[in-house]
Amino acid sequence: MTIKQPNPVDVHVGKKIREARILQGLSQTALADMIGITFQQLQKYENAHNRVSCSRLYAISLVLGTPVQAFFAGFNDDESGTAEQSDLPQAGSLDLVNAYSRLSPNLRKTLSKAAKSLADNTGDAP
């Protein structure tokens, strides 16, 4: 018996939902309550075990204050049908955001200036 793998689009959307939820500082339970589902169902969406319907994705986008198209950002299918997911945050990005949010306002300002300076001097800045 073969186990059907989730569609790469569903995996990508689930990851984006999780990222947006965490960036808003919401638990799975809190977001699930806000959109009228169980946290287990939200867990299944985030892990791509279940597909998110259009109406549910719209409800999630409203609660998170994120445009629906943002959940698809960075996902492109090339002609061979393989997924390109280069716009996903690098490993550790969410940890960095969580740590940053715990800093005092003065430390945040100092860290932001330092990060901007480093980015401007790497030659890789857009």
Residues 29-71 pLDDT 10s: 999 999 999 999 999 999 999 999 999 999 999 999 999 999 9
- The pLDDT value given to residue 34: 96
Measured CA to CA in angstroms, residue 106 lies from 24, 62, 98, 102, 112 at distances of 21, 32, 16, 12, 10
Residues 6-31 pLDDT 10s: 999 999 999 999 999 998 889 999 99
Planar angle of CA 112, 118, 119, nearest 5 degrees: 90
Task: Using the predicted structure, report yes or no on whether residue 85 has a pLDDT greater than 50.
Answer: no
- The pLDDT value given to residue 120: 82
Predicted structure pTM score? 0.63
Question: Quick one: pLDDT band at residue 78, thresholds 50, 70, 90?
Answer: very low
In CATH, what class is 1-88?
Answer: mainly alpha
- The pLDDT value given to residue 80: 37
Q: For the chain, where do the domains classified as CATH 1.10.260.40 start and end?
A: 1-88
